[in-house]
Every structure is written in structure tokens, then in C-alpha cells.
Structure 1
Amino acid sequence: MLAVPDLPAGPDLPVIAVIGPTASGKTALAIELVRRLGAAGRAAEIVNADSMLVYRGMDIGTAKPTAEERAAVRHHLVDIWDIDWTATVADFQRLARAAIADCRRRGVVPVLVGGSSLYIRAIVDEFEFPGTDPEVRSRLEAELAQLGVGALYARLRAADPTAAAGIEPNNERRVVRALEVIELTGHYTSTLPEHRYALTGVVQIGLSLEREVLDDRIAARVERMWVDGFVDEVRGLAERGLREGRTASRALGYRQVLDYLAGTIDEATAKETTITRTRRFARKQLGWFRRDDRILWVDATRPAAELAEALLAGPLHGLLSPVA
């Protein structure tokens, strides 16, 4: 077993970020890394950076780590909110950075895991958010309820065509937020800031695989979701207010099953649309990550145990050397 040198607790402990698209194997690799570090005498814990794992009850459709996995490896920021809570990237930035700081204070290596470039970068990079105004937000949300997202998107397109082009027309939350920012600041940008870490000691491990392989994995995952009782999970969450949850109800798969339960589409269409839109989302995830040349890409088709061993014997072994 690889021997990892002792490191002092504090801000100089590394932050390992395991990133990649949906169904690339991030959770499995992160758990293997934590287990192997622990066996070598170096404590490590997982900090979730997935925007949907925070919601209680959203388990099957998010591929949430199992109860057994979470019992074996401590996970931060999982199951912290009810489904009617409207989460923001700024919330995630604050909570994840606090969890990372807590790990470092205790001499624990934080392993950040997520599939969104926006969320990962908000946590590890210099990243500031425009302010918000409750009155402006409330008025825009009232207009959304009255006029529909199409009318607000048309307004956004007229005000800032570039901003509108970077937002899905049916993404109510982002359309409202863009209009709010434009009203408050006079402009909106969907361009991420330059790549500059706000945290020290960050190493990003990206899981890469061919498009055809990723497509097959996504289809298999969605099929497994249905077998595991996904429709029943969504039905139960709907009874607890999932439709009213502005963030949770937009999650891939959940939105489609809600439409099926409402009778607007059939079950086969819900499943196929979930596969199609998840594939499209995964391509966007990879596209954003590929713009970051700080990421060390590894072959996601290799078994997680093999990948973890190679990383700890190679690039992560050097990162975990004693701090001078």
C-alpha cells in the first residue's frame, strides 16, 4: 500500500477535485481515493458539489451515494435541504468553502466531487456573484407566473441577445436571474471569470471517455433508475411539494416524470427525454471543463480502484508531499 507522508493541518492541505460529466464514475473514484488515503493513514472526506444531492429524498434520479457508502466515507453537503428550498450557486460556494476549511482545520484532505463547471469553479476559483434585490426578484417571479417563461425570455433576448443565447429558453430560474442582474447592474454575462484559484493546493482530476461510451452509460443509468423505482420516488416527492420547488423540480429526470404524472406525456417519452437531455447536458459539462487547462484528464473506463492507485502513486503522491 502506498505510504502517504504526514502533512500538517491547515490551509496548505490539498483540495482534490474529482470532476466529469454525468455517469463518468466520479463518486466511485472519489470513494476509492478516500478509502486508500485512509488506509495509508491520511484522513480524507468528500465534499459534494452536485446541486441536486443536497435535496432529501432525491436519491435514485441523482445517483446519490448509498447509505452504506456514506456510512463508510463521510460526505458533506448531502441531504441538507428539503425539496422546496431554492438553492443558489452562491449558497453552494459559501457552504462548500466552509466544509473545505473545516476539513483542513482537522487535518483532513477534502475531496470535492461534482459535474458542473460553474459549481466547481465557484468553489475553488476567484468568483464573485452580482447582488440580488428581493423586490426586483419578487416582481419578476410574479411576472413569470402571470406571463410565462416565453415572454420573459423574449424580454431578455431584446435586452441582451448574447446573454439570452447562453440560457435555455425554458430555464425559468436563469431567465429571471439574468433579468434581475440586468436591471440591477445594466448588463449580464454568462462568461465565467478567468481561471484563477481562490483556494491553495487545488488539483483537478477530470474523468474523460468517448462520446459513444458516455451515451451508453447514460442510457444504462436511466434504465436502471426506472428499474429501481424512480417513478415512485418522484410520485412521493410530488406529494411533498416537488412541483413547487423552484430548483429541485427542474432536475433532469424529475421534470420529465412530473410531466408524465401530470398526464402531458407518456412514460416511454419521459424516459427517452430523460436520456436525450442528460446526454445533451453531459456534452455541455465536458465542453465547459475542456476550457480549463488546469485539469488532469484520466481514462474513465479504467476501474475506479485502478485509477485511484495510479493517481496516488503519481500526481497525487507529489501533491501530498510534506509542506516546506
Structure 2
Amino acid sequence: MKEKVLYIYLLVLILAGCTYAPLPKQNGNTGTEKNFTNERIQDGEKTFLLIGVDSRGEKKSRSDAIMLARYFPEQGKLKLASIMRDSYVKIPGVHPQYNKINAAYYYGGKELLKKTIHDSFGIKVDHVAVIDFQGFVKMVDLLAPDGVVVDVDQTIIDDMSIQASTGKNVLHGEEILKYVRFRHDDESDFGRVDRQQDVLLQLKNGFINQISSFEGVVALPGIIEQGLSYLDTDIGLKTILEMGPKAVIHAPETVETLRIPVEGSFKDAEYPEIGAVLEMDETKNKRALQKFFSK
């Protein structure tokens, strides 16, 4: 089966301002809903779960891109941790109990995936954003209308039928989707995760460039509202609009990345009902992720 991947997003706005204007709990509201809580905003970093799903609108799908993000305003630092979709973890309430982590979203949506991450790694997720193939393509063209610069080789071009030449290329939505889905080389999913993180950071920079001018600030509410229409998220439009200017002023100066499982902490395994998995040292990876997200 051809593997599918994508990832995210309008993240820049949310993360860059998350502590200067922290997000209130919204009781399940999506970004397009207009009922917002008046709960008092409290200080503190927030952890965001970013989910890319292998769907073009189907009701059930797997989460083939799983990323945790946290912003530290005092250090001007953004941290992104990708969890490999084949990571072998215990999923509460399903059979078999142990499965690939991307099966958690298939069986129980974002709530089960949040619980699985908490149980496996001890990380509490505050907010979630989910995007599918169609949303990803539109989001890329919204945040980076001039395209994304990527380095492609002939293997990627041939395997994914990308309209490009070898070397540096400026690609747009549909072609970038193909680029971040590719996994059929020696690096497999590991290379794919690296490409996801690279493109995400370029989307961040493209978005910051758009809204750094007077015209960009004026256009900001429309950009945010359009972007949220591509996401299933518990973060409301009003909250993001309130912290929009802070995202420009306090954009992260550095970005640190991590990939779970970490090097030397897993082995390839295969199970009859599940297939090929990454069997992890649970303790080592839990400690690595917690240490990464500490200040």
C-alpha cells in the first residue's frame, strides 16, 4: 500500500504567541465555531498536538504525521517533536493492546491519541489541530504563496511523479504534499519525518514574512479565518486573533527538533496482526521526550 503522510500548519500564529496571550480552554469548540469561553487566561507554556491524517475526506483514517510542539517565550525557542507513526505503544481500551501509535487515531480519534501519548510518554496535550490531504494542500498555498524551497532527487521525482528537476526547486501545495509523503528510499519514514519538519519550518517563515508588513497585518484576520477552515481544532478564531500581533513580535528565534524513538532506543519487529513496527525502549524514549520539553 502506498504510504501517505502530511502534517501542518497555522502553527506559527498559535505557538509564537501562546505564552504572551495563553489560550483558554474551549470545551471542544472547533476553529469555525463562534461560541467562545470567557475563562480567565492563565500563564504557562502550552503543548500542541499536530496531526496529519491519511484522508481526503473519509470518516476514518490513521494519523500518519504526529507532532508535538511547545514554545518557550523567555528563551524565544520553539520545540517540535515528531513521533514515528510505526512506534509500538500500548493503546488504552483496544485490541490488541499494543499497536502502532497511528492506530490510536483510527480507533478513537484525537482524544484516544492524546491519552496514548500521555500514558506512553507522560506528556499532557493542551490543544490539538488535525489536517487532512486537502487541507494540507490549501494550507501550504495560503501560508507560502510563493512556494517552498526543497531539494529533490530523481528517486523522489520518479516515485511520486513530482513536476520538478533534480536539486533545489520551488514547489507548491500538491507537489509539496507528494514531497512530504515520500518514504521509498533507504531512510524510509525517518527521512520522511525530517522532510515534514523542514517544510513546517518553511511554512512558519513564509507566514511570518506575509504578516510582517502593514498590509500583512491588515490581512491577518482573513488569513487566520481561512486557515482555520482547513483544520479541525479546539482553538477558536477569537483567541488567535487576539494574539495575532504578538506572534509577529515574538516569533521564535530558534527551533529545536526531536524524533521519537530516539537513536539507539528501538529495534525493527513484526507482529502478525499489525505488521512491521518500531519496538521502543519505553523508559528511554519517555525520558528523552520529557527532557526535550523541559526548559
The structure with the largest strand share of the pair is 2
Taking structure 1 as the reference length, the TM-score comes to 0.26
Specify the structure having the higher radius of gyration (Cα). 1
The structure with the largest helix share of the pair is 1
